[in-house]
Amino acid sequence: MTLEQTIEVPVLGMDCAECTQHVRQAIAAVPGVSAVDVLLATEKAVVRLDPVRADRQAIARAVEGAGYKVPADRQAETRAFGRSVSRLFGVLVIAILALVVAGEWLGVFDWLTARLPWPVGLAAVLIGGFPVFHNVIRAALRRQVIAHTLMTVGVIAAMLVGEWATALVVVVLMRVGDYVERFTASHARSAVRDLMAMAPQQARVERDGQEIDVPADSVQAGEIVIVRPGEQIPVDGVIVSGQATVNQAAITGESMPVETGPGERVFAASLAELGSLRVRTTHAGRDSTFGRVVHLVEQAETSRSDVQRMADRFSAWFLPIVAGVAALTFLLRRDPLAVAAVLVVACSCSIALATPIAMLASVGAAAGRGLLIKGGKHLETLARADVLLIDKTGTLTLGRPQLTDVVPLDGMDPDELLQLAASAERFSEHPLAHAVRAAATAKGIAFLEPADFEALPGLGVRCTLSGSLVSVGSERLVGAPTDEARLASLLEGGKTLLYVERDARLAGVLAAADALRPEVPEALAEVRQLGIRQIELLTGDAERTAAALAASLGIPHRAQLMPADKIAIVRGYQAQGHRVIMIGDGVNDAPALAQEDVGIAMGAAGSDIALQAAHVALLRDDWRLVPEVLRIARRTMSVVRLNIAFTAVYNTVGLTLAALGILPPVLAAAAQSIPDLGILANSSRLLRQR
């Protein structure tokens, strides 16, 4: 039995959704291919095939048969195109204006037509337009109509009435238009390319007692990688030895470096600014956190929004509509040049580019700032959302308890009470024990050495300290009264109480709470300003704890929920027609995040579950990213709507003027590239979002 394989094939020359559709159809027709995705953003096809019946060469032949190119050296091809664009683009606008003014308004084209033989003009048109005509003929043989098909008919119409100079200028401007479209698509892909360029290429690995340089994606799990000052960390892993200041901006978007040492995790593509490290590899290459982020950004365009699907459908109908307008123009006006102008002015690619160009720019730029958005579909839904559901632990809160109150009884000194509790908890692994020890350490309190230590599951700990029997734990362990007035406010505040008993007498009480993230209140206020009025806390915590936290934020809550309960709540809102966002930590909330219209995972860096389950992953634990991602979504959809409106109005006006004979073929050809430039200028704003 033959196992199918998935390969990636670079494809150059794609400008819009129509191009990707042609490539997809050509590859799908190859025997042995079972599935194909063509990605405009990264200029490649992802193909699933039977390696016995199909191979890379067969795919390349199919792509080239469709009029596109499979480069041997993709980076060299990309650099060459970039250089050619940079050399030509500056003079193209001047050339267009000169040709239009000199040729149409000053009569230069008529002068050329009258003085040069028609065969000379025909040869010039054929030579200048050969790449275009070649693609049109190949598409016609496959029974396909492409954007250049109608423009070619317009050129033929101009030639038939003896306007070969006009036809030649139209051909030149068609070629210029191709450059503009490629430049527009390439510019939108720049954020994605910049992200991919951050991927580490080399790693220094300890093998057989020596340090050797190897490709980063060839490092195996468990191998030790050496990172020197100023070098990029090439793998995900755990620090074995060394200290370093690490800049993780490539992963989290946070420019402030963090101090790292033995036992701490580091991520591929982060930078060791100061210090050196020895890192034990856990993941490398495409399996690293950075590799997975890049892969998900590459795949983001396959998740098309409703607006993009609508634009794609309209593009499929646009060329027949233009052909109909041209036929009607000929029937009513009997003017071949007007027909040629109608066919030339139509901008089908601009309609198809209106949505994906903005989406690519936005998704790529957001990923560079620690916001992973898995496609235009989720951007559109975020922009329309009106309900926000929030998990508590690890999302609204830091996910680790902190000591908040020390309440001594019977005249005991507060520091002495904290010393007793921290010493008794010295060998406990409970999260509350960590909080007590951290508080004592912060105050410089010395620990006593416990004897006869005993951990009592569900109750607390017991030991002997300086000859006294000390117990620290719940009310059930020490039998403390619950009606103490001084403890009531702590309980009402949703805090967890630890009772400290010495020699069978209650010495005092410690209160701990999972602290609220400091930026949450301000972030929620911004979310409300963005139009999301229904905000609700969903948690599995006790009612008293949830109520206290929700009250402090001024939002409703539901407590003691199981994962299935959260899913039911989400479905209830959706049944009422709401667009629902849920924010969780991406681990225990994975089922609910998948059920949401948009699930947002907080602090997803390094978490496979969070990266897979959520539709949007915030790669650092910062609530300020929540209103930011909402603003990005709304701004993106505003740009998309403006792109679509501009192209629709422009095409309508252009077709009307051409049909009425007001817009001659030369001006129509010059005008054909303006919508692409308009889309580029408008969408480029998304690359510079603040």
**Domains along the chain with CATH numbers:** 5-72 (3.30.70.100), 78-188+303-359+637-688 (no CATH), 202-285 (2.70.150.10), 381-397+517-621 (3.40.50.1000), 398-516 (3.40.1110.10)
More confident residue, 269 or 611: 269
Least confident of 177-191, 282-296, 534-548: 177-191
Look over the chain and give the mean of its residue pLDDT values, rounded to a whole number.
80
Q: pLDDT tens across 153-175, in order?
A: 778 877 877 777 777 777 777 77
Q: Tell me the sheet residues that pair with 226.
A: 204, 278
Of 87-96, 177-186, 227-236, 585-594, the range with the lowest mean pLDDT is 87-96
- Per-residue confidence at 90, pLDDT binned at 50, 70, 90? very low
Of 687, 7, 689, 655, whose CA–CA distance to 338 is shortest?
655
Is residue 482 pLDDT above 60, yes or no?
A: no
Query: Using 50, 70 and 90 to split pLDDT, how confident is the model at 418?
Result: very high
Beta-carbon contacts of 80 under 8 Å, excluding residues fewer than 6 positions away, are: none
pTM: 0.72
Please give the pLDDT value at position 589: 62
**Per-residue pLDDT tens for 538-568?**
887 767 778 888 888 899 998 878 777 888 8
Most confident of 61-75, 154-168, 181-195, 655-669: 655-669
> Rounded distance, CA 195 to CA 189, Å?
10
Mean pLDDT for 221-225 is 90
Report yes or no: 632 and 618 within 8 Å, Cβ to Cβ: no
Question: Hey, how many other C-beta atoms are within 10 angstroms of the C-beta on 246?
Answer: 21
Would you state the pLDDT for residue 389?
92
How confident is the model over 20-44, as a mean pLDDT? 82
Catalytic residues: 391
Please give the pLDDT value at position 348: 63
Say which residues have a Cβ less than 8 Å from residue 297's Cβ, sequence separation at least 6: 41, 192, 195, 363, 364, 367, 372
As a whole-number percent, the residues of the chain with pLDDT over 70 amount to 80
More confident residue, 269 or 16: 269
State residue 436's pLDDT score: 94
Q: Cα separation of 193 and 199, whole Å?
A: 10
Is the predicted pLDDT of residue 587 greater than 80, yes or no? Answer: no
